[in-house]
Amino acid sequence: MHETDMMLHHFRAQRLLTAYTRLVDEKDVDGLREIAHPDIILVRSADDAPRAGREAFLNLYRDFTDSDVQQSQHMTTNLSVTDLGGGTLGVAACFLAITTHPDGARATWGRYNDEMAQREGQWVFTTKRIQVTRTALIGEDMLAPLNASSFDPMPS
């Protein structure tokens, strides 16, 4: 494959992952519907079995929206794209998700190993794999005040 094609694939994958993380953080289930193939497969380390179909995929994010998560920030890095043939791309990335809750915060990190393809002129996820490595629980007493500067001395 030509280097320009791979650069374009990388751009497409990064764009789709960025849209995904923003939509999750905004709790925008309707937006997530637009970037999920109707026959999407969701595989999560926290689930007993894969979820098949767009509605089953969206149920995860409906549960997230209905949870006690107040705010979230998902980030991806170390993106690697592979042309799987037939118009499908494999997209591997590391993720970090920070969520705030009434009793503190959580930092969850792991890996995505997704597949995406073009459908009706738009790139969508055909497979979403979420492998959580670990989650750190951070109690409210460990969090700095909201007005604390990131570069001032630590409060005592």
Q: What is the pLDDT of residue 5?
A: 85
100 band by pLDDT with thresholds 50, 70 and 90: very high
Arithmetic mean of pLDDT over the chain: 94
Residue 62 has pLDDT above 90, yes or no: yes
**pLDDT tops 70 at residue 143:** yes
Q: In one letter, which amino acid is 72? A: S
- Please name the residue ranges forming H helices in 35-156: 54-66
Q: Are strands 104-119 and 51-52 parallel, antiparallel or unpaired?
A: unpaired
pLDDT higher than 90, residue 126: yes
Instruction: State how far the alpha carbon of 133 is from the alpha carbons of 33, 63, 111, 138, in Å.
Output: 26, 21, 7, 17
pTM: 0.91
Residue 33 CA to residue 46 CA, distance in Å, equals 21
pLDDT in tens, 66-94: 999 999 999 999 999 999 999 999 999 99
Report whether 77 contacts 99 (CB < 8 A).
no
The mean per-residue pLDDT over the stretch 131-152 comes to: 89
pLDDT(22) > 70: yes
HSE toward the beta carbon, residue 121, CA cutoff 13 A: 0
* 156 token code pair: 């005592």
Look at residues 101, 88, 109, 110 and name the one whose alpha carbon lies nearest to residue 138. Answer: 101
Residue 64 reports pLDDT greater than 70: yes
Tell me the pLDDT tens digit for each residue of 37-57. 999 999 999 999 999 999 999
- The secondary element (H helix, E strand) that includes residue 34 is helix 29-34
Could you read off the pLDDT of 7-21 as tens digits, one per residue?
999 999 999 999 999
